[in-house]
């Protein structure tokens, strides 16, 4: 099993705040992955994306991209602009060699869940056509939700992915913890993803504060909600062939290193 660990964004201990410096810092501290954050907008050109990709390839760092937060494929008035933000992220991801673009599909609003599923599916079909036409080597990564008002249960995302091979599920362990009120069946969830044919999986991890409506905010790993040791044991016992675990903790790379130490304690060798 290959495991890649790293932060969501430039490490806090990076001497500079630019992407290439962040990639270099990830390598310096012996982590293996970094997620490029476009969450406030796609403000990187293709030239810089190429430069970041070359640095990552030289240093052996696995890259992914998180698309902007301002996305709602469940709203007809916002879907077109949302698709553009995702596709702009996909173009940059292709140029930097990032294999997946993560995004939150949207909110149900007044829609029935089935209608929301149809809307997200149609948007993903349209974006997949653009990706294939441009020969971008990238997947659309639909992230599991942590809110009851938001589209993105495991079943919904797997349904989209079954019908569109340009799509891939992204498991956010914290979101799942919040959505299931602290009692997620991680074994079943992971098995559902594996049985759908996904042996290479992209995931996020942090601890999380939540209410009956779901996610409120991410927390550091020491809160043990969820306990990473338990998640790590489930991963290591599974049939996963390759998994990336991106730290969305406020401590970013520090908690990635905590995860690395825990996995090593359980016998994994990087």
Peptide bond into 230 cis (omega under 30): no
- The stretch 253-265 carries a mean pLDDT of 98
Model confidence band, residue 60 (pLDDT cutoffs 50, 70, 90): very high
- The stretch 135-140 carries a mean pLDDT of 98
Instruction: Quote the pLDDT of residue 144.
Output: 98
User: For a pLDDT cut of 90, what percent of the chain falls above it?
Assistant: 100
Q: Report how far residue 34's alpha carbon sits from residue 25's, in angstroms, rounded to the nearest whole number.
A: 10
Instruction: Quote the pLDDT of residue 198.
Output: 96
Model confidence band, residue 92 (pLDDT cutoffs 50, 70, 90): very high
Instruction: Quote the pLDDT of residue 216.
Output: 95
Mean pLDDT, the chain, integer: 97
User: Would you give the distance in Å from CA 19 to the centre of its chain?
Assistant: 18
Instruction: Quote the pLDDT of residue 260.
Output: 98
The reported pTM is 0.97
- The stretch 66-88 carries a mean pLDDT of 97
Q: Report how far residue 257's alpha carbon sits from residue 5's, in angstroms, rounded to the nearest whole number.
A: 8
4, 33 Cβ separation under 8 angstroms: yes
Contacts of 102 (CB under 8 A, 6+ apart): 35, 64, 65, 66, 67, 141, 143, 170, 202, 204
Q: Report how far residue 67's alpha carbon sits from residue 140's, in angstroms, rounded to the nearest whole number.
A: 10
- The stretch 90-103 carries a mean pLDDT of 98
pLDDT digits (tens, 9 = 90+) for 36-58: 999 999 999 999 999 999 999 99
Model confidence band, residue 16 (pLDDT cutoffs 50, 70, 90): very high
Model confidence band, residue 264 (pLDDT cutoffs 50, 70, 90): very high
Model confidence band, residue 4 (pLDDT cutoffs 50, 70, 90): very high
Instruction: Quote the pLDDT of residue 10.
Output: 98
- The stretch 84-99 carries a mean pLDDT of 98
Model confidence band, residue 78 (pLDDT cutoffs 50, 70, 90): very high
Tokens (6 digits) for 193: 């993803």
Model confidence band, residue 183 (pLDDT cutoffs 50, 70, 90): very high
Looking at domain 2-265, which of 3.20.20.150, 3.20.20.480, 3.30.365.10, 3.30.1300.10 is its CATH number?
3.20.20.150
The domains of the chain are located at 2-265
Contacts of 97 (CB under 8 A, 6+ apart): 53, 56, 57, 63, 137
């Amino acid at each position: 099993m290959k495991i890649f660990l790293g932060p969501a964004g430039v490490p806090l201990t990076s001497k500079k705040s630019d992407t290439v410096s962040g990639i270099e810092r990830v390598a310096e501290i012996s982590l293996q992955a970094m997620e490029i954050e476009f969450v406030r907008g796609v403000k990187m050109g293709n030239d810089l994306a190429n430069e970041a990709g070359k640095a990552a390839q030289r240093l052996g760092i696995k890259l992914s991209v998180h698309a902007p937060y301002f996305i709602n494929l469940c709203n007809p008035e916002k879907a077109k602009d949302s698709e553009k933000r995702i596709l702009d992220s996909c173009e940059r991801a292709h140029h930097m060699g990032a294999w997946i673009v993560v995004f939150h599909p949207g909110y149900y609003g007044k829609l029935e869940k089935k209608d929301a599923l149809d809307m997200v599916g149609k948007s993903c079909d349209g974006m997949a056509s653009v990706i294939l036409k441009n020969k971008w080597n990238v997947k659309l990564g639909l992230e599991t939700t942590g809110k009851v008002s938001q589209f993105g249960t495991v079943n919904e995302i797997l349904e989209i992915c079954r019908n569109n091979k340009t799509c891939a599920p992204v498991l956010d362990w914290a979101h799942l913890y919040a959505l299931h009120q602290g009692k997620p069946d991680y074994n079943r969830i992971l098995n559902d993803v594996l049985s759908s044919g996904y042996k290479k999986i992209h995931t996020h991890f942090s601890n999380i504060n939540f209410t009956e409506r779901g996610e409120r905010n991410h927390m550091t790993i020491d809160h043990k909600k969820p306990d990473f040791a338990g998640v790590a044991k489930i991963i290591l016992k599974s049939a996963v062939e390759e998994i990336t675990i991106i730290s969305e903790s406020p401590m970013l790379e520090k908690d990635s290193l905590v995860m690395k130490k825990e996995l090593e304690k359980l016998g994994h060798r990087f």
